[in-house]
A = this chain, B = another copy of it.
């Protein structure tokens, strides 16, 4: 007998999800859904985990936690990316215990089992004659880079439509030459909320009044249409229309694609990409909108390129401006804890203190992320109340609805299997 009302199962909740409304509480609070999200979402889709810039040389590696999984991404001697489960085939010890580093071979720190950069077990001391090293290579994980962004997929059969998505977004990304870029900073922030609340927070600007630093250069009209634009945003919208026309002209001249593609919930690899203008100087995410770094990415002839914005399901978003790029990913730690990782990339030869002031470069999004962490924690506390019931998304929150719709669609597909 159950004392609390736990008779509603996860499949019931998935089946009855109301379109246009936030999810029921267990999606955000229960261990069952956390485990399901790891299996059905993070274990079955292409997940952004790093940038090529984080592993420039052969032997460079990153280890990344995807829920209970730990994944190694390493550059092999042919400069190709490889990925493996970070689990020794001997007694299961974590092989590499640091988040990043550089190695010749991959040596487990417990009993020195030694794997090549291709995962082959090269040496396991003191084994009996019938021991076959070929049976004990590191378990491989699918990995690929798209224009400098590194993705892994834990599934045996990764979603095939990723190839198409990669082909659609590469023309937008390649001019920023991220593969050549270097990491200026990486900041991890633990948000006290479910990863989906972190994503829902990202997918709308309905709450942007809480981001004074961001709103200097970012148009607060984001997500609104002529139909639902609040009157107070009308002047900003007029300004947006004017600089958007300019931006389109610049893009045409430079051959930069800028058209919106929005397929957030109509495919397995949901995504959205668009180049949009910025306010004030229109160059970058700074207090006056001017570039934060003198050296531009990709040797662009002008810094005034707005921001190329990429949203990827399930857990990543990106802003590419002329002078730097920022990647964001929301990595689930627990039902009510999420790691938000932000990485700033600049021109490979940009010198801190000379070409850019790191404080200026990081300021807007560091402040914005911290503000969002407060909001996500507050949302988590709220939905944990038994009095919570799903409420309606406003039209300007259509991307939040698209996220939830994509998510529910993927869970249903998982349960059918």
Which residues of A are at the interface with B, using a C-beta cutoff of 8 A? 1, 3-4, 9-11, 22, 25, 32-33, 35-36, 39, 43, 68-70, 85-95, 97, 109-112, 124-128, 131, 136, 139, 200, 206-207, 209-210, 224, 228-230, 375, 378-379, 381-396
Contact = CB atoms under 8 A, between A and B. Distances in A.
Taken together, the copies of this chain in the complex come to 3
B126 A379 contact: no
Given A10-B3, A126-B228, A395-B128, A381 B94 contact: yes
B22 A379 contact: no
A387 B155 CA distance: 11
Contact of A86 (B97, B229, B382): B382
Given A111-B206, A224-B126, A228-B126, A391 B9 contact: no
Contacts of A375: 93, 109-110
A209 B112 contact: yes
B382 A92 contact: yes
A383 B92 contact: yes
B87 A388 contact: yes
Nearest to A379: B93
Given A93-B375, A126-B230, A88 B391 contact: yes
Nearest to A12: B1
A395 B396 CA distance: 65
A204 to B, nearest CB: 9
Contacts of A94: 378-379, 381-382
Contact of A385 (B9, B22, B85, B388): B85
Contacts of A386: 43, 68-69
A384 B95 CA distance: 13
A257 to B, nearest CB: 30
Contacts of A70: 381-382, 385
